Chains A and B, each alone.
Chain A
C-alpha cells in the first residue's frame, strides 16, 4: 500500500506547491490547518523548506542548492544579506552567535530560524540574483554536486560544470521527474582527483575516455546506487556505460525515469536507488535502461581515471580537499578556505564577500568538505587578499584537525539526530589542536561527526568516523558516539569499520589522542593511517582506542534533543518560545 507521503504527493506536488506556500505565508503560520500540517510540511520540502524539530515549531530551515556549489558574483553576498536579515533565532549559539550560513556536504547553503511569512520575499530576493531553493529537499533531483573548481582546474579532463548546469536546467521543475519515490542525488566529476565523490551518490558521472569510430572521445562512465544512510552504505555500482557529454543528459533522464517507475513507493526505507540496484543488479539496470529509456545504443564503459583519485582518499598522493592556494588554468589562483564545520557567522561572511569582490571576481564556490573557495584571484592580489584578518580564522592553511573536521546539523535543529554535533566538533578540534601531535608526515586527518545513521556528515568515509549514540554513565543516559576507522574514497573506496561503540562523548577526544599515539608507535615507517587500519582486524583496532576522560569539557552530555534549543539559558521544552508569529511573539497553546 502506498505511504501517506505518496498520497500527499499524488494530490499536489512539484511546482504547484509554491502558490500554496505563498498563500500560507500571506495568511500566517496559524492558517495551516491543524490536520494538514504533516502533508504540507512534507510538500514544502520540495521548495527547500524544512520544518525544524520539536520545540521549534513555526521555524524552518531553508536550503539553497547551487549546482556544483558555484555561487556567481553577487550571489554569496545576497545569501549573507538574507542570513543577516531573516536567519536569526530566539536564542544565541555560544560558538556562533546569531545569524550564520551553513555550508553543507552537498555544496548547498542552509539558513535556519526562517519564518514562513518571510519566505515569499526570500524566494524573490534569491531569484533576483539567479538562486533557487527548488528541489533542495523532497523526493526528486537534489542539488547536483560536482567539481567545485570546474572550468578553472588544472586537473580537469572534461567540463563537469557544463554538464551539472545542463542537468540542473533539464531536470529542475521538470514535471516528468519531479515526483520520484525518494531523493535522487547526482554527482558529476570532471577531474582526475575525484572531488565529485560520485561513489556515494544515486547517480554518478565520472571522467572517462573511449575510442569511438576510431577517435578518442572524452566523456563519462556511469555508476548508480551509492549512498550512506541507514546503516546500509553502498558505493555506486558500475553499470558498464560510457556516455559522451551529449548523451549524458539522456542517460541521466533515462535512469531517473527508471527509478521513478520501478523504485519502491510502498516502503520509504526501501525506496532509494541503492536498494533497487541491490535487487536487480547492475546488469538488469543497464538492460532496462537500454530497452525502455534511451533510444540509442549504449556504449560500454571507457577507461576511467580512478587510479589517480585523491579527494577524501586517506592515503593517495594528490589533493585531499581544495583548501590552500592553487593555480587555475588561466594563470589566476583559487584560494580554498577552511570553514570549521561549515558554519560562517554573518559578520565574517560580509568580510569574505568584500574580499572576494575587492581582490577577485566575487565568485565563491562551495565544496563537499563544507569549505569555500574564492576563485579568479590575480597573482598580484594574492598577498593582499591573504592578509585580510578574516582569513586567520577561515584559513587557507589551517591546522589538520580543523581542516579535517566535518559535522552535520545535529540536535540543534534536526529531528533525526541523536546528539549535538557542530559545537561539539568545534570543541573537539580545538582540544585536539592544543593537546595532540599528529604523527610525522600526517598532514591530512579527517574526522567526521554525524548525529545519526542518516550520515549527512559522511562519517563512513573519514579516517575517524563518529556517529551519534547514547550510553549510560554513572547511571545516567549521556550522549555518546560510535567510532569507526579507516574510511575513505579514492580508487578503491572503503567504508570505515565501526570498532568502538557507545563511547561517552566526553571521552572521545581522549580516545582519539590515544589512538594516534598508538598509531605513531606501531605504524610501519611512513604508513598512512588508512593503510594502518586496513592491515588490522576490528578487535586489534578496538584495543588501540582507549577512551578516557581528559581536561576536555563537554557541556552537551545531557539529552539535547529534550531541549527546545540546547544552548538556551532555560532549555526546557516547556520554555520554548515556539510556535511564534512572524514578529517572534509566541503563539499561545490551545490547551
Chain B
C-alpha cells in the first residue's frame, strides 16, 4: 500500500494517510550543530513546508526557531516518525533528534 503524505492547512499539520499526525507548535529537541550552536537546541516548529519519506522514516521540511538563541531558520529532513507495516508511529518531540542525511541513514 502506498503512503499518502502531505502538509495541510497552511503547514499546520503533516497528514499521513489522511490522518493528521504531526502538529506544528511543538518544541523539538535537536542535537548540537544541527540547527544552531545551542546544546541541545530546543526548536519550536512554526510551519511544515514539505514532507517526504526516506526508507521507513518520515522526514519534514519545516521552519522553526530556537527558544534559547532565537535563531529562525528552515530545517531540512527532520525525522518526525516511522512507517511500520503501513502504520505511522510518531517520534516524541522531546527525544533528542538528529537530521536525516540525504542518503537516508543516521550519521
- Asked if A35 contacts B23 (CB within 8 A), the reply is no
Nearest A residue to B17 via CB reads: A35
User: Is A38's beta carbon under 8 Å from chain B?
Assistant: yes
Give the number of A-B contacts (CB < 8 Å). Answer: 74
Chain B 1-30 interface mask (CB, 8 Å, partner A; 1/0): 000101011111101011110011111000
CA distance A487 to B24 in the complex (A): 27
Report whether over half of chain A's contact residues are helix, strand or loop; otherwise say mixed: mixed
Q: A54-B23, A269-B11, A472-B67 are in contact. Are A477 and B18 (CB under 8 A)?
A: no
Q: A415-B12, A470-B67 are in contact. Are A269 and B49 (CB under 8 A)?
A: yes
User: Is B70's beta carbon under 8 Å from chain A?
Assistant: yes
The answer, among B12, B24, B42, for a CB contact under 8 Å with A472, is B42
**Residues on the A chain within 8 Å of B4, using CB:** 35, 38
Instruction: For residue A573, give the distance in angstroms from its CB to the closest CB of chain B.
Output: 10
The answer, among A53, A415, A472, A502, for a CB contact under 8 Å with B70, is A502
**Residues on the A chain within 8 Å of B67, using CB:** 470-472, 477, 502
**Residues on the B chain within 8 Å of A4, using CB:** 6
- Asked if A37 contacts B18 (CB within 8 A), the reply is yes
- Asked if A416 contacts B8 (CB within 8 A), the reply is no
**Residues on the B chain within 8 Å of A145, using CB:** none
Give the size range of B's interface with the partner.
20 to 34
- Asked if B23 contacts A561 (CB within 8 A), the reply is yes
Q: Which chain A residues in 152-169 approach chain B with CB under 8 Å?
A: none
Q: Which chain A residues in 35-70 approach chain B with CB under 8 Å?
A: 35-38, 42, 53-54
- Asked if B70 contacts A36 (CB within 8 A), the reply is no
CA distance A416 to B44 in the complex (A): 13
User: Is B68's beta carbon under 8 Å from chain A?
Assistant: yes
Nearest B residue to A32 via CB reads: B18
CA distance A39 to B19 in the complex (A): 11
CA distance A411 to B10 in the complex (A): 15
Q: A34-B18, A469-B44 are in contact. Are A416 and B10 (CB under 8 A)?
A: yes
- Asked if B23 contacts A470 (CB within 8 A), the reply is no
Chain A 406-432 interface mask (CB, 8 Å, partner B; 1/0): 000001000111100000000000000
Nearest B residue to A501 via CB reads: B70
- Asked if A452 contacts B25 (CB within 8 A), the reply is yes
**Residues on the B chain within 8 Å of A53, using CB:** 12, 23
Instruction: For residue B20, give the distance in angstroms from its CB to the closest CB of chain A.
Output: 5
Nearest A residue to B70 via CB reads: A501
CA distance A472 to B24 in the complex (A): 17
Q: Which chain A residues in 538-591 approach chain B with CB under 8 Å?
A: 559, 561-562
**Residues on the A chain within 8 Å of B12, using CB:** 53, 415-416
Measuring CB to CB, which residues of chain B are less than 8 angstroms from any residue of chain A? 4, 6, 8-13, 15, 17-20, 23-27, 42, 44, 46-47, 49, 65, 67-68, 70
Measuring CB to CB, which residues of chain A are less than 8 angstroms from any residue of chain B? 4, 34-38, 42, 53-54, 230, 268-269, 411, 415-418, 452-454, 468-472, 477, 501-502, 559, 561-562
Give 10 A-B pairs besides A416-B11, A470-B27 with Cβ atoms closer than 8 angstroms. A35-B18, A36-B18, A38-B6, A42-B8, A268-B10, A415-B8, A418-B24, A418-B46, A452-B46, A559-B25
14 A-B pairs (CB sep. < 8 Å): A35-B18, A415-B8, A415-B20, A416-B9, A416-B11, A416-B12, A416-B24, A416-B47, A452-B24, A452-B46, A470-B67, A472-B27, A477-B67, A561-B25
